[in-house]
Amino acid sequence: MTRTLFTNARLLDPAQALDAPGYLLAEDGLITAAGAGSADTTLRKDAEIIDCKGACLAPGLVDMRVQSADPGAEHLEDLHTLLHAAASGGISTIVALPNAKPVIDDASMIDSLSLRATRIGGARLRLYGAATRKLRGKAMAELGLMAEAGAVGFSNGNRCIMDSLVMRRLLAYSAMLDRPFIQHCEDHDLTAAGEMNEGETSTRLGLIGAPAEAEAIIIDRDLHLIRMTGARYHAAHISTRAAIESIRRAKAEGLPVTADTAPPYFMLNEMAVSTYDTAFKLSPPLRSEDDRQAVIAALADGTIDAIASDHVPVDGDAKAQPFGPSQPGASGVDTLLALTLSLVHQGHLELLRALELLSLAPSTILDLGGGALIPGTAADLVMFDADSSHIIRGSAFASSSRVTPFEGMPVQGRVLATYVAGAPIFRA
């Protein structure tokens, strides 16, 4: 039996609204005791003692939107690098999208990737199954078999399901399997060749605009289908005020709807594109300042449930192009915690709320059974210093994908250690 006792910690558990100096005991991978004050001597017996020296100790982050370049483009970032980069970012579980090559639309791929991940160590890997075969948005993939193999939900990657009949059936089937459906909310017909958010900046730069309405149009359609099917629906990387208002109304109505956003959408706006710097080419695109403010408000009031990194490994060559043809996406696992903490330092969120967005909420949405410091749950933990400052440098990333829209940005928050099942997967 392995026993690890964390002492002198600032215990932070959004599940219990706990923020107090305390201790935590992990035994054989599970949390067995946690509480305020100092651990009594019986807990110390035969335990490895880790003195947190006042650092924050919280549930490990659950990053519910990550693209893995492995399989298919391992030269950009293989699974080993990704899981260790996540670990260094305080993430104990990542949930990977099915848009790999080949597409993860088959139970055997869920099996084999999950197995590979256990051999690697680093963060835990969970997977979404592709909603449709080859992500083409037409024929349904074997959702049931993938669910049995461990798929935590279904997603069509960065392609929205445009066909309403296909969408209705996917929601109905997901409801039967009791798995959430993760939608990339974008009316592709409306955004067409869009290169950035439509507005004054796109006009000035001569870039083709993708209107913000493309996001809310899909959510509004899907809400009707959710009423028909009762499916659990999760709107991914929400970026616009209109979409947020739709989700707010759906929640008020009691529909089983959740949403996440990613740091670019609460940290940056479309003005960043002004230099044509392709690090700011993202999907969805950076929006207006008004949208950014709406995202922050929605994170604070609970309309948006979770924050994910939206990590996308991108080839430098795919970015060394004019803005239009350059590939969207940027690295995210290295900066997820510090960027989210900036909302705390700016006074928009309480620290416990920030941690809820990063661990408890995604864990609950996907039924992962973690994200809390309650005895009986897995001892997946992050130890961090919430105030230590540094400047974001892509070149210093543990991820092998080093494109970031946050290059040179000063942030506060440093991960000291990350644990999975009580064992360290990262130590600073």
Partner 1 sequence: MTGQSQTGAPDGAASPKSTRKAGSGSPVSLPHRHLLGIEGLSPIDILALIDRGDMFADLIQSDTAPPPFSETLRGRTIINLFFENSTRTRVSFELAAKHLGGSVLNINVAGSSVKKGETLLDTATTLNAMHPHILVVRHNCSGAAKLLSQHVDAAVINAGDGRHEHPTQALLDALTIKRRVGRIQGLKIAICGDIANSRVARSNIHLLATLGAEIRLVCPTTLLPAAIDMMGVEVFTDLEEGIRDADIVMMLRLQTERMEGTETPSQREYFNLFGLDRTKLMRAAPNALIMHPGPMNRGVEIDSATADDVEKSLIRTQVEIGVAARMACLEALAGASGDRR
Hey, which residues are catalytic here? 310
Nearest-5° angle of CA 271, CA 347, CA 66?
60
> Could you say whether residue 128 binds partner 1 (CB under 8 A)?
no
Q: Rg of the chain over CA atoms, in angstroms?
A: 21
Question: Token pair of 233, please?
Answer: 């629906």
Rounded-to-integer distance, Cα 281 and Cα 42, Å:
55
The residue range among 32-40, 176-184, 201-209, 415-423 that interacts with partner 1, by the rule CB under 8 A, is: 201-209
Pick the piece of the chain touching partner 1 (CB under 8 A) from 37-45, 191-199, 264-272, 290-298.
Answer: 191-199
Q: Report CA 378 to chain centroid distance, whole Å.
A: 19
Sequence letter at residue 104: I
Using the rule CB under 8 A, give the single segment among 21-29, 192-200, 385-393, 397-405 that binds partner 1.
Answer: 192-200
- Which of 313, 285, 64 is closest to 186 using CA atoms? 285
Half-sphere exposure of 422 (CA within 13 A, CB side): 23
Residue pair 339/406 in contact (Cβ under 8 Å)? The answer is yes
- Exposed / middle / buried, residue 298 (Cβ in 10 Å: 0-12, 13-18, 19+): buried
> Is residue 316 at the binding interface for partner 1, with CB under 8 A as the rule?
no
Q: Which of 164, 321, 346, 389 binds partner 1 (CB under 8 A)?
A: 321
Name which of residues 265 to 294 contact partner 1 (CB under 8 A): 275-276
**Shortest separation between residue 208's beta carbon and partner 1, angstroms:** 7
200 scored as a contact of partner 1 (CB under 8 A): yes
Shortest Å, Cβ 324 to partner 1: 5
Q: Which stretch binds partner 1 (CB under 8 A): 36-44, 208-216, 252-260, 362-370?
A: 208-216
The residue count for binding partner 1 (CB under 8 A) is 22
Say how far apart CA 318 and CA 125 lie, in whole Å.
26
Q: Which is nearer to partner 1, 209 or 329 (CB)?
A: 209
Return the residue of 198, 305, 310, 356 that touches partner 1, per CB under 8 A. Answer: 198
Candidates 132, 174, 191, 202; binder of partner 1 (CB under 8 A) is 202
CB of 248 to partner 1, least distance (A): 26
Q: In 335-374, which positions are buried (b, 16+ CB within 10 angstroms) versus exposed (e)? A: bbbbbbbbbbbeebbebbbbbbbbbbbbbbbbebebbbbe
Residue of 323, 384, 406, 426 that binds partner 1 (CB under 8 A): 323
203, 301, 367, 396: which one binds partner 1 (CB under 8 A): 203
Question: Given CA atoms 319, 324, 328, 331 in this order, what sign does their dihedral have?
Answer: positive
Sole window of 83-91, 204-212, 307-315, 386-394 interacting with partner 1 (rule: CB under 8 A): 204-212
Question: CA 408 to CA 393: how far, in whole Å?
Answer: 6
x/- site string to partner 1, residues 69 to 108, per CB under 8 A?
----------------------------------------
Query: Of 324, 345, 348, 400, which lies in the binding site for partner 1, with binding defined by CB under 8 A?
Result: 324
1 makes contact with partner 1 (CB under 8 A): no
Are the C-beta atoms of 237 and 284 separated by less than 8 Å? yes
Query: Which residue ranges make up the site for partner 1 (CB under 8 A)?
Result: 195, 198-200, 202-209, 211, 275-276, 320-326
